[in-house]
Amino acid sequence: MSTPPAQSNNSKITVYVVSCWIFAAFGGLMFGYDIGISGGVSGMDDFLIKFFPNVYERKLHAKENNYCKYDDQLLQLFTSSLYLSALVSSFFASKACSALGRRPTIFMASIFFIAGAIISAASEYRWMLIVGRILFGVGVGFGNETVPLFLTEVAPIQLRGAVNIMFQLFVTIGIFIANLVNYATSTMHPNGWRVSLGLAAVPAMLLLIGCFVITDTPASLIERGKDDQGKAALKKIRGVDNVEVEYMEIIDARDEAKAVKHPFRNLMKAASVPPLVIAILLQVFQQFTGINAIMFYAPVLFQTMGFKSDGALLSSVITGLVNVGSTFVSIYAVDKVGRRKLLLQACCQMLISQLAIGFILSAYLKETGTLDRTLATVVVVLVCTYVMSFAWSWGPLGWLIPSETFPMETRTAGFAFAVSTNMLFTSLIAQAFLTMLCKMQAYIFFFFSGWIVVMGLFVIFLLPETKGVPIDSMVEDVWKKHPVWKKLFKNE
């Protein structure tokens, strides 16, 4: 059913709906805290002595290779196991999201994450540590599958992009808070690492509390046959009684979705192929910018460059603050500047930053020794310019674009592919980075630079601008007019 935008956008921004956005976005805070906490804990001597004594011994040797002293597969498994767990659990989360609803799935995400925090903080053996990471991963899998979908479904149409980016904003806030926590606990011997891991329960508790405040989404309720409850929820989140137009749109969408028996099979149809390819490549490229390698291992990376432990943690706090601030730029600019311009500008800025870091380290950081203070400061500044550009582009847009480009009948299935691809490549980078750093040394930054060039070409030739295009008009207004993708529709 086609409806003029003015009629569809019948809503008020109420305290309640803003509360729903904020409480749900704590799922991003939970995810971000874990990203930030892992690297700081991995660099703490007390943690290494207890669980990875071989790594600690290599770290103590003055002549040990700067680039290899943290290369340990089990240490990398400490980080990557979460994302492998999240990859598997995201498929179960998708089923739970459809069968039980958005709010119960978010509730389960918080419970799993709290359990992971408790076991991680109480760990006495490596296997306990890994079990805790797996539980963290289940929480992340359930949260990342559900929270962006929840935010999109409760947001008014005119604010959908900005509200969706709240998830990424809270991810960056979580990373920043984790860096502050690591900086504070690094001197709490011998159990500072326990405090860092245990405090992961705090954002999960906030999400758990939020589950008693937020409503399930109207789309979820109506999808499960609860039409009257869905209409009541729609009135509550829109702040108005006249919601008949939007209510009927959801009813029509539900009826259309029921007619689709095999949504995953329909992803191979022409209308879904372009957004599917773009959704998958966006997730691959998001990881091959090197961002999570830096965010996971920022303290370790800065120690490699010659900073002492406290200096390394402080430097990662600075990059975390830059990450948060720059995400606000995306919220402001995404519907004004457009997606393509933000992505291309970021490619240029990230490329320059990565190349400069690579040249400085290859020229001045040998296998032994450290950078002098001036060059080390320059590297921190370059890392900040790199993080800055990622935070207003490939970070939030990697989640936003897949959510707005699929046709209605394959939107959920297509987004599931995006989430699982993100988790897969996040785990690969987490598992491989320290080994890559050891083998490639400073040239690892040239490796990521090469990928950034490929990303820029991808945007230029394959990614259309979707700013201001109604979701249900993507096929006619975007894909059939694109110089590459229109070839898929030549027989229609």
Mind listing the pLDDT tens digit for each residue in 205-226?
999 999 998 889 888 898 888 9
What is the reported pLDDT for 329? 92
What is the reported pLDDT for 483? 92
- DSSP per-residue string spanning 94-152: HHHHHHT-HHHHHHHHHHHHHHHHHHHHT--SHHHHHHHHHHHHHHHHHHHHHHHHHHH
| Among the listed residues 147, 184, 186, 174, the one whose alpha carbon sits nearest the alpha carbon of residue 34 | 174
Cα(73)–Cα(358) distance, integer angstroms: 24
Q: How far apart, in Å, are the Cα atoms of 457 and each of 44, 430, 448, 462? A: 40, 26, 15, 8
Q: Which residues in the chain show pLDDT less than 70? A: 1-10, 59, 61-67, 69-73, 75-76, 79, 257, 260-264, 292-293, 295-313, 315, 366-371, 408, 470-472, 491-492
Which pair of structure tokens corresponds to residue 292? 């999570």
What's the full length of the chain, in residues? 492
What is the reported pLDDT for 274? 92
What are the b/e assignments for 103-125, b being 16+ CB within 10 Å?
bbbbbbbbbbbbbbbbbbbebee
What are the b/e assignments for 191-207, b being 16+ CB within 10 Å?
ebbbebbbbbbbbbbbb
What is the reported pLDDT for 326? 93
| Among the listed residues 454, 457, 465, the one whose alpha carbon sits nearest the alpha carbon of residue 340 | 465
Cα(401)–Cα(392) distance, integer angstroms: 14
What is the reported pLDDT for 456? 96
In eight-state DSSP terms, residue 217 is: P
Cα(234)–Cα(243) distance, integer angstroms: 7
Cα(59)–Cα(65) distance, integer angstroms: 9
What is the reported pLDDT for 4? 40
Which pair of structure tokens corresponds to residue 163? 């509200």
What is the reported pLDDT for 118? 97
What is the reported pLDDT for 62? 45
